[in-house]
Chain A
Amino acid sequence: MNNESTGKDPQNQKWRIVCYVNQFFGQVGGEEKADCGFMVKQGPVGPVRLLHWFLEGDGEVVATVICGDNYIARNLEQAVEEGLKIIADLQPSLFFSGPAFNAGRYGVACGAIASAVQERLGIPAITGLFPENPGAEMYRKRAWVVKTGGNAAHMKEAMGTMAGMARKLMKKEPLGSPAKEGYLPRGFLKNEAIGKTAAIRGIEMLLDKVASRPFKTELQIPTFEEIEPAPPIKDIKAARIAMVSDGGVVPKGNPDGMKVSQNTVWASYNLGDIFAKPFQIVHSGYHPTEVRENLNRLLPLDVLKEMEAEGEFASLLPVFFSCSGNTTTVQSARDMGRGIAQKLVDEGVRGVILTST
């Protein structure tokens, strides 16, 4: 059995390492063998020998798991489950997949399997991908993805970095920033002291910009995906309308745990109740005095009810969708929006009035 705190086999004190590679690097064959299923070969195979060599003294590759790119791509979820079981049975304390460089199917497979191992076996799982490999964006937050060059000419370098990271993770040494260590960002921000004060960096950047000397911005402006506007509502009198707001209105007690900032929670609440019973504002980006005095200033229920009675539209959805839009990331906003949109579609809503503070 493995020694749990260091992952080392007490027999020979080395980490039990298992690696996954595809049919090509596993020396089964080329593209013509991409449909082959999972197989296990003893010890390191092909380029995995490099990894074995890098980690000599600390770890030992006990098995190489091989599978064809097409076999996995055809049914990713199922294949990952199958692979995970095989890997688990080998009882590794450390796992590697790839590196896959810029190969798309292989990269996604490497990322998916590494993520499953990391999350479900609880051991460090490291892969290597070129930043533009689709697997990189999909899995960098879930497994350790070392940044590699675009093709296998970078194999030695990639393996070296992967081995170096493995050592730090296994020895529980502090890991530096992605930029320093050579892995892809895992999706969060930390503050670091970077030498000069922001004031001095700013003035120096400005002097460069004014003099037309090259400079590098520290933050980039965002780009947003193009979204097609929904087509016009042809028959408003037959349409169901709904309200959505990101002003953070919730029933008193905040039953769904909405956050005042960096929120990711959305919920629907009955309009009658929110107007009749106590409510609170969970949003620390504006002063709620005016909305507390008259909730219609955020959710124009008074006039919508009148217009519904007058037949301006068919019906107003009895619930509204609420979230708090204060310092949300673009990604969280997108996720909340998609979730709310699906519910609206399910309720037969044709038009939405979204109010924001």
Chain B
Amino acid sequence: MQITSIVDVAMMVGVSRLIRGYCITSPVGDFHLKPEDEKAMRRRYVKKALEMLQGEGEKGNYKTI
């Protein structure tokens, strides 16, 4: 599955398991947060990613955290 903030391109090419990343320069981490909060957020992304790998692929859509 893919984590990227440029979901438009990912959807255009047909990615079927997609999570919207935080931003271009930091897909899996909000650097404005305190380190432990940032890590907790990162864990939510990865947990969702693993969930999506266990589900059916769905094109043209993406999940947000």
Contact = CB atoms under 8 A, between A and B. Distances in A.
A230 B58 CA distance: 11
Interface stretch (A51-59, A82-90, A137-145, A348-356): A348-356
Contact of A236 (B38, B53, B56, B59): B53
A294 interface: yes
Given A303-B39, A357-B25, A229 B2 contact: no
Given A229-B17, A303-B39, A304-B46, A356 B4 contact: yes
A300 B50 contact: no
- For A234, A298, A300, which residue has the most chain B Cβ atoms within 10 angstroms? A300
A288 interface: yes
A296 B53 contact: no
Given A230-B57, A352-B1, A290 B29 contact: yes
A227 to B, nearest CB: 6
B43 interface: yes
Nearest to A298: B27
Interface in B19-57: 21, 24-29, 31, 38-39, 42-43, 45-47, 49-50, 53-57
Interface in A321-357: 330, 350-357
A224 B13 contact: yes
A293 interface: yes
Contacts of B56: 229, 232
A247 B24 CA distance: 10
Contact of A300 (B12, B28, B58): B28
A224 B60 CA distance: 13
Interface of B: 1-4, 6, 10, 12-14, 16-17, 21, 24-29, 31, 38-39, 42-43, 45-47, 49-50, 53-59
Interface residues of A, number: 42
Contacts of B38: 294
A159 B12 CA distance: 42
Contacts of B31: 290, 293-294, 297
Contacts of A302: 39, 42
Contacts of B10: 356
Contacts of A289: 25
Nearest to A246: B4
Most chain A C-beta atoms within 10 Å of own C-beta, residue among B10, B12, B26, B57:
B26
A286 B1 contact: no
Contact of A224 (B14, B24, B45, B58): B14
B4 to A, nearest CB: 4
A334 to B, nearest CB: 10
A190 B53 CA distance: 42
Given A354-B3, A356-B4, A297 B17 contact: no
A303 B26 contact: no
Contacts of B4: 355-357
Contact of A290 (B3, B6, B14, B25): B25
